[in-house]
């Protein structure tokens, strides 16, 4: 795997695809700087070598139209603050203006291009557009794992214009290594904790990882499809009735492959989907009518704890309860604590996928696990075993 460490950037202009698709508030201030901070080590390495950095990213979904609300101008000051270098800006990402700004860029300087998606050609993966972008650097670095699953001009098509002068940035390399540890080289026993509402959204992940894991913990809303499929009473709990047969097939397949599946045995049930609802702890297969399971129960957490403590490699994707409501967040917090403890004892732990990353941040587990993926959809597609265009383009 060719990374940024394979290059010296002295006197070179590095064209870096970053993922600065950050949230902005009504005043156009950045409300979460995680993605900018994640790209910092790659950018600083280029500058310290004596090179200059040209940064390209998208912001929002302007659908190929120039939209001032989604201009990169809104983030220039924040990027400058985080990198500790005054960032220059040019109001296009291709063409004369961009090429003039590049010609004036000196070693140690950073240039941020305007939003790539102001051009419809970006999302279409247009080769001519990629060729124009490629004029803006001597070496191409892809450090945008969050967009690696998209075959866009700046992530997958552009690499062909750089022959051997292309590589992964530090963030991208870390993401690839973390996923590889879970799917290929992880120390056993390997445990996958899959939560969230729907079996349907996790089915391809489950199918891909059954050959790799020793334990599969099922939590969250998915639980009730599995429980109902096995004849349990789930009250008014969320359930995908059309996926019951699929749930039974997963259990049969897991048994065939020697994978132990752990499903909740008890739950915190509520008489309403609300933080102020009445609650009771009940067996997962005996939830009364009018009640719904909203969090993992104490016996379930005890069972999960035993499995997690003996694991050497842990993947966590999805909460085990409605963590957004304080009264139903205890199960997800407990899972975080168990993984924290296992990690302290030498396990490798990877957290990925929107809701679990949100939970990890909300409850302060970011520094207590081995790695938190920034990738969202890209991370999930990797776990499904798909070849990501942004990664394949560098490896080809």
For the chain, the average pLDDT equals 95
Strand locations in 69-214 (E): 87-90, 110-113, 139-142, 166-168, 190-194
Let me know whether 157 and 245 are in one domain. no
Q: Are strands 279-283 and 266-270 parallel, antiparallel or unpaired?
A: antiparallel
Residues 35, 174, 330, 368: which is the catalytic one? 35
Tokens of 255: 């048994």
Q: Report pLDDT for 239.
A: 95
Q: Report pLDDT for 117.
A: 98
Residues 40, 198, 305, 361: which is the catalytic one? 198
Q: Report pLDDT for 45.
A: 98
Let me know whether 37 and 165 are in one domain. yes
pLDDT tens for each residue of 112-131: 999 999 999 999 999 999 99
Let me know whether 163 and 193 are in one domain. no
Residue 17 known to be catalytic: no
Let me know whether 61 and 130 are in one domain. yes
Residue 198 known to be catalytic: yes
Let me know whether 117 and 226 are in one domain. no
Q: Is residue 69's pLDDT more than 90?
A: yes
Q: Is residue 64 part of a domain?
A: yes
Task: State which of 105, 138, 172 marks the end of a domain.
Answer: 172
Cβ neighbours of residue 90 closer than 8 Å, sequence gap 6 or more: 97, 98, 101, 111, 112, 113, 114
User: Whose CA is closest to 61, among 122, 17, 143, 133?
Assistant: 122
Q: Is residue 197's pLDDT more than 90?
A: no
Let me know whether 248 and 159 are in one domain. no
Residues 354, 361, 376, 385: which is the catalytic one? 354
Q: Is residue 284 part of a domain?
A: yes
**Mean of pLDDT values over 214-224:** 96
Q: Is residue 97 part of a domain?
A: yes
CB-CB contact of 348 with 314 (8 Å): yes
Let me know whether 25 and 156 are in one domain. yes
From the CB of residue 236, how many other CB atoms can be counted at a distance below 10 Å?
18
Task: State which of 139, 172, 205 marks the end of a domain.
Answer: 172
Q: Is residue 144 part of a domain?
A: yes
More confident residue, 396 or 20: 20
Q: Are strands 215-218 and 190-194 parallel, antiparallel or unpaired?
A: parallel
Q: Is residue 244 part of a domain?
A: yes
Residue 354 known to be catalytic: yes
Is residue 19 annotated as involved in ligand binding? yes
Alpha helices in 116-164 (DSSP H): 120-124, 127-134
Let me know whether 204 and 321 are in one domain. yes
pLDDT-derived band at 357 (thresholds 50, 70, 90) equals confident
Q: Looking at residue 357, which CATH number applies to its domain?
A: 3.40.50.1260
Residue 169 known to be catalytic: no
Q: Is residue 180 part of a domain?
A: no
Residues 108, 232, 376, 377: which is the catalytic one? 377
Is residue 17 annotated as involved in ligand binding? no
Is residue 324 annotated as involved in ligand binding? yes
Let me know whether 229 and 365 are in one domain. yes
Task: State which of 142, 172, 202 marks the end of a domain.
Answer: 172
Let me know whether 168 and 196 are in one domain. no
pLDDT tens for each residue of 283-313: 999 999 999 999 999 999 999 999 999 999 9
Is residue 293 annotated as involved in ligand binding? yes
How many structural domains comprise the chain? 2
Is residue 127 annotated as involved in ligand binding? no
Let me know whether 13 and 148 are in one domain. yes
Q: Is residue 377's pLDDT more than 90?
A: no
Q: Is residue 287 part of a domain?
A: yes
pLDDT-derived band at 354 (thresholds 50, 70, 90) equals low
CB-CB contact of 160 with 358 (8 Å): no
Q: Is residue 390 part of a domain?
A: no
Q: Is residue 349's pLDDT more than 90?
A: yes
Is residue 59 annotated as involved in ligand binding? yes
Q: How far apart are CA 49 and CA 280, in angstroms?
A: 61
Q: Report pLDDT for 283.
A: 98
pLDDT-derived band at 380 (thresholds 50, 70, 90) equals confident
Domain of residue 214: give its range: 186-383
Is residue 356 annotated as involved in ligand binding? yes
pLDDT tens for each residue of 253-269: 999 999 999 999 999 99
Let me know whether 17 and 106 are in one domain. yes
Helix-strand-coil split of the chain, %, nearest 5: 45, 20, 40
């Amino acid at each position: 795997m060719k990374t940024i460490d394979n290059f010296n950037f002295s006197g070179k202009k590095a064209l870096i695809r970053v993922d600065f698709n950050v949230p902005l508030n009504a005043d156009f201030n950045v409300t979460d700087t995680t993605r900018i901070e994640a790209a910092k080590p790659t950018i600083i390495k280029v500058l310290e070598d004596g090179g200059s950095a040209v940064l390209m990213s998208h912001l929002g979904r302007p659908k190929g139209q120039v939209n001032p609300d989604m201009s990169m101008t809104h983030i220039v000051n924040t990027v400058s603050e985080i990198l500790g270098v005054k960032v220059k800006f040019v109001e296009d990402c291709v063409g004369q203006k961009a090429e003039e700004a590049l010609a004036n860029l000196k070693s140690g300087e950073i240039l941020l291009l305007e939003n790539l998606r102001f051009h419809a050609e970006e999302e279409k993966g247009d080769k001519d557009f990629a060729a124009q972008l490629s004029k803006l650097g001597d070496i191409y670095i892809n450090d945008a794992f969050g967009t690696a699953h998209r075959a866009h001009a700046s992530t997958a098509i552009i690499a062909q214009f750089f022959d051997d002068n292309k590589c992964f940035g530090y963030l991208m390399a870390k993401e690839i290594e973390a996923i590889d540890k879970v799917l290929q080289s992880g120390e056993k026993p390997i445990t996958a904790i899959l939560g969230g509402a729907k079996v349907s959204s996790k089915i391809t992940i489950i199918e891909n990882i059954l050959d790799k894991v020793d334990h599969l913990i099922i939590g969250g809303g998915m639980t009730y499809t599995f429980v109902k499929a096995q004849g349990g009473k789930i009250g008014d709990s969320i359930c995908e009735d059309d996926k019951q047969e699929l749930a039974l097939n997963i259990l049969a397949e897991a048994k065939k492959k020697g994978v132990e599946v752990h499903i909740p045995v008890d739950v915190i049930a509520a008489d309403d989907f609300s933080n102020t609802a009445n609650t009771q702890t009940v067996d997962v297969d005996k939830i009364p009518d009018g009640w719904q399971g909203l969090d993992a129960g104490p016996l379930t957490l005890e069972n999960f704890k035993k499995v997690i403590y003996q694991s050497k490699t842990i993947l966590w994707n999805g909460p085990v309860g409605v963590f957004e409501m304080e009264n139903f967040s205890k199960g997800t917090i407990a899972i975080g604590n168990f993984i924290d403890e296992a990690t302290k004892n030498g396990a490798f732990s990877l957290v990925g996928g929107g809701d679990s990353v949100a939970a990890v941040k909300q409850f302060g587990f970011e520094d207590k696990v081995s790695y938190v993926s920034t990738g969202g959809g890209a991370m999930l597609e990797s776990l499904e075993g798909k070849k990501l265009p942004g990664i394949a383009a560098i490896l080809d």
